[in-house]
Amino acid sequence: MAPRQHRGSTLPDRRRAEESGVAKEPTEGAPSTRSGRRRESRPGGPRQPSGRQASGRPGCISRVAGRQHVTHLLAASGFGAPSRLPRLLAAGRVAVNGQPVRDTDARADPRRDVLAVDGEPVALTNLCRYLVVHKPYRVMCSFTDPEGRSTLAEYVPVPDVYAAGRLDYDSEGLVLLTNDGWLLHRLTHPRYEHPKTYLVQVERVPDEGALETLRRGVLVKGERTLPAEVELLRGDERPTVPPRSVPIRHRENVPTAWLRVTLRERRKRQVRHMTAAVGHPTLRLIRVSSGPIALGDLAPGTWRELTDEELEALSRALHLPRSEGSAPTRAPAPGASSARRSRSRR
């Protein structure tokens, strides 16, 4: 059975959005404080929920993180604050798969292990939520915007979920939303090189030389991008995509082409900078997958919950050794090594 799709709801007022604890970053790389002042972006993206929510309540239980601290699982299940739970363990009242655990560093997998207190199984029902939304064109990848632009709040009436990575205002496609702090960190921190795939419509048809340059990496603001997977889609491979609210500019004598591009790094407007660097400006950009999670036929402005199968596939992908899941390392920019040697001599 196909996953149920949900259409957008009406825009909630700003006070309700703020009280729900949703993300408040207006643009990628430029989050703002409540006073409206801009502050530097964190290396791993905007501040994400941790083990405890902003209200002080224990966080939810991750369905993709695997083994988690027993104290966290108990706190999320209503057995008290994490600071009080070591005494429960020390008293021998907690067991995992029938074996008493007293170490506060003990872990259990909520999908496979049986956690019990005083011999009674613990119902691990406070699970994190995982959604995928098809972000339309000219919609902010956040739930509030001080400039009054359209946001995800118009389409996703679910409180306390955050975007796992950004998507430009003028880009479209898949955005993962969750309240799982562990997953948000793994998907947004550049260390993990999580792959994302895009359909990119560009001006003119790139030749093999331009495609190979994109694959090897191009210089963007003085730094070479990581190697990417780039494929020119020809004939029947050309995608059928939903119409955009504002059509792309059309020029009679300038053909267009579609590329499929997979990146393993997150830099602001990276695809657009890359195609422009080889002389083929981006006209339209649609994210179609994030790791094993695919956009499929989800219509613009609709959302759905991830299926159990998708969560299992996502968990497996996130726990792969980096040698199995990573692309080649970044090639240095021309002159970079000599510049470093020069700096070291000074």
Q: Where are the domains of the chain?
A: 68-121, 195-290
Residue entry with tokens 């040697």: 341
pLDDT digits (tens, 9 = 90+) for 49-67: 444 454 445 689 999 999 9
Q: Which residues of the chain have pLDDT under 70?
A: 1-4, 7-58, 322-346
CATH class of 195-290: alpha beta
Cα separation, 226 vs 190, whole angstroms: 11
Q: What is the pLDDT of residue 249?
A: 86
Cα separation, 229 vs 58, whole angstroms: 40
Cα separation, 65 vs 79, whole angstroms: 21
Among the options 103, 168, 170, 308, which is catalytic? 168
Beta strands in the chain (DSSP E): 6-7, 68-69, 94-96, 99-100, 107-108, 115-117, 120-121, 130-135, 162-163, 172-178, 196-203, 219-220, 223-224, 229-233, 256-263, 282-290, 293-294, 302-305
pLDDT digits (tens, 9 = 90+) for 77-125: 999 888 889 999 999 999 999 999 999 999 999 999 999 999 999 999 9
DSSP string, 127-195: B--EEEEEEPTT-BSSS--TT---BGGGT---TT-EESS---TT-EEEEEEE--HHHHHHHH-GGG---
Q: What is the pLDDT of residue 3?
A: 63
Q: What is the pLDDT of residue 320?
A: 77
Superfamily the domain 68-121 falls into: RNA-binding S4 domain (3.10.290.10)
Q: What is the pLDDT of residue 9?
A: 46
- Catalytic: 145? no
